[in-house]
Amino acid sequence: MYLDDLLEHLEYQCYQGEVHVSITDLVYDSRKITKGCVFVCIKGSNLDTHDYIGEAVEKGAIAIVVEKKMDYPSGLTVIYVQNTRKALAFMSAAFFGYPAKQLKTIGITGTKGKTTTTYMVKSILESTGIKTGLIGTIETIIGDKRIPANNTTPESFLLQKTFAQMVEAGCQCVVMEVSSQGLMLNRVDGFTFDYGVFTNIVPDHIGPNEHKDFADYLSCKSKLFQQCKIGLINIDDPHAHEIIQGHTCQIETYGICHQADYQASHIELVSKPGFLGIAYRVNGRNDFDVMVATPGKFSVYNSLCAIAICRHFGVEMEALKQALARVKVRGRVEMVPVSDRYTVIIDYAHNAMSLESLLSTLREYQPKRLVCLFGCGGNRAKSRRYEMGEVSSKMADLTVITSDNPRFEEPQDIINDILIGVKRGQGDYITIIDRKEAIRYCLENALDGDVIVLAGKGHENYQEIKGVKYPMDERDLIQEIISESKEMEFTS
């Protein structure tokens, strides 16, 4: 492979050396530099790999791509570009043979709903025989292979490599979460999405090393609609028209409150023993009834969005209905079958905003009691502890305060901070440090009609203590408790 082949869709200046040189690899991590490679220098918030050019030469790199003009070692091809992150994205696409062209690509952006919607779309498409890869906050899925995620949206080189692996595995489609950071850092440059989706936006990810303000956050989200062929927009969101300002794609809309191409009406809460869901009628470009196996108004938006996407793939109405009636997303309002007397839900809510949204949604189902179990992570802002404690105490009938990922803090110290917020509300509370014992307390003291929320861990299958991640999955803990309870009943 020649360097100029990787640069064919970029504006660049050959600052030194020859462009038509054979290269063995494309590298952006200085630890992975090999003889004959091209090294793309990235300037990050904590590290600038322009500082490793000397090391790259020593290890045998034949070319470098830079965004700084200065003196460079002789005998080295130097390519200057305005933005090396963008260059890496385009070069990665070329390096892996433009795999996105062999897939139908669906990118979903927004503050909330990305994860659930990606799983809904994957579930629906695969139920009709369309093999679909997934990239998101929880994991990357390629066929039967599941890879835990480090970033919601991977670095562009890894993203293009993943696309290539999906093509090799026979995937016809990929649905992925597109974070504001991913858009800001050019991770999804180098190809055009077939479908771009906007779920909603509220202030988030604002601060050092993220977005300077809400306007910047919104602006980054909006970039997706200058990089897709068809944009599907939640028209009910107050910022919908700002998101699509300057768009270059065909626009379709979905929503509840406003006239939309795909609109939900006649919304009804569905409550059965051990089950909470929601039903509604789809109007507009479709006309049918649907029931979704996750509770809350946000489930209407997520599923309506999934319907709008999947209709472009020719998915029939019955297939849509069947898939949504059984869809389950790990750690996202995930109902765990335990008893017909009460409902147990696992959710990733780990800040005050997400916890308030979750509890207000479940309160609409008028449970006998709303029980909220949660902890807070160690070595993180204490303000989150006060805020979550206050939200739970004001919205839940019973708050069970326990341990999350204490990291290098003492669990009791974290609980003491949470209690400061809890005491601002009127709800009952109890503290049980051991998370398994806290869950046991909830199950053994459940009343008929209770809704029990295990918040904060969600999809995580570990607990981090003193720098070590110990295996811990709440689903396993529940099964252990049930098994132990049965053994106790039998031996007694």
| pLDDT on residue 202 | 85
Domain shared by 138 and 275, yes or no? yes
| 338 and 420 fall within a common domain | yes
Do 192 and 84 share a structural domain?
A: no
Residues 348, 230, single domain; the answer is no
Asked if 124 and 139 sit in the same domain, the reply is yes
Closest among 215, 133, 150, 213 to 187, alpha carbons compared: 150
DSSP category for residue 393: H
H-only helix segments in 396-473: 411-422, 435-444
Beta strand pairing call for 250-255 and 262-272? parallel
Per-residue pLDDT of the chain (492 residues; tens, 9 = 90+): 999 999 999 999 999 999 999 999 999 999 999 999 999 999 987 889 999 999 999 999 999 999 998 889 998 999 999 999 999 999 999 999 999 999 999 999 999 999 999 999 999 999 999 999 999 999 999 999 999 998 899 999 999 999 999 999 999 999 999 999 999 999 999 999 999 999 999 866 666 667 778 899 899 999 999 999 999 999 999 999 999 999 999 999 999 998 899 999 999 999 988 899 999 999 999 899 999 999 999 999 999 999 999 999 999 999 999 999 988 889 999 999 999 999 999 999 999 999 999 999 999 999 999 999 999 999 999 999 999 999 999 999 999 999 999 999 999 999 999 999 999 999 999 999 999 999 999 999 999 999 999 999 999 999 999 999 999 999 999 999 999 987 654 333
Domain limits for position 127:
99-326
Looking at the DSSP bridge assignments, the partners of residue 289 are 281
Q: Does 68 share its domain with 108?
A: no
For residue 339, the domain's CATH number is 3.90.190.20
The three-state (H, E, C) secondary structure of 378-425, written as one string: CCCCHHHHHHHHHHHHHHCCEEEECCCCCECCCHHHHHHHHHHHHCCC
For the chain, what's the residue count? 492
Same domain, 346 and 482: yes
The radius of gyration of the chain's CA atoms, rounded to the nearest angstrom, is 25
Q: What is the pLDDT of residue 273?
A: 84
Asked if 344 and 336 touch (Cβ cutoff 8 Å), the reply is yes
User: In total, how many domains does the chain have?
Assistant: 3
* 417 and 352 assigned to the same domain: yes
- Judge if 232 and 90 occupy the same domain: no
Treating both helix axes as pointing N-terminal to C-terminal, what angle do 317-326 and 297-310 enclose, rounded to 10 degrees? 140
Q: Which helix (H) or strand (E) holds 185?
A: none
With tokens 């799983």, the residue in question is 119
Q: What DSSP line would sit under 432-443, residue for residue?
A: -SSHHHHHHHHH
Residue where a domain stops, chosen among 55, 72, 95? 95
Judge whether 309 and 114 are in contact, CB under 8 Å. Answer: no
- Looking at 80, 95, 110, the residue that finishes a domain is 95
CA–CA distance, 221 with 215 (Å, rounded to integer): 10
In the β-sheet with 63-66, what is the strand arrangement from edge to edge?
13-16, 77-80, 63-66, 38-40, 26-27
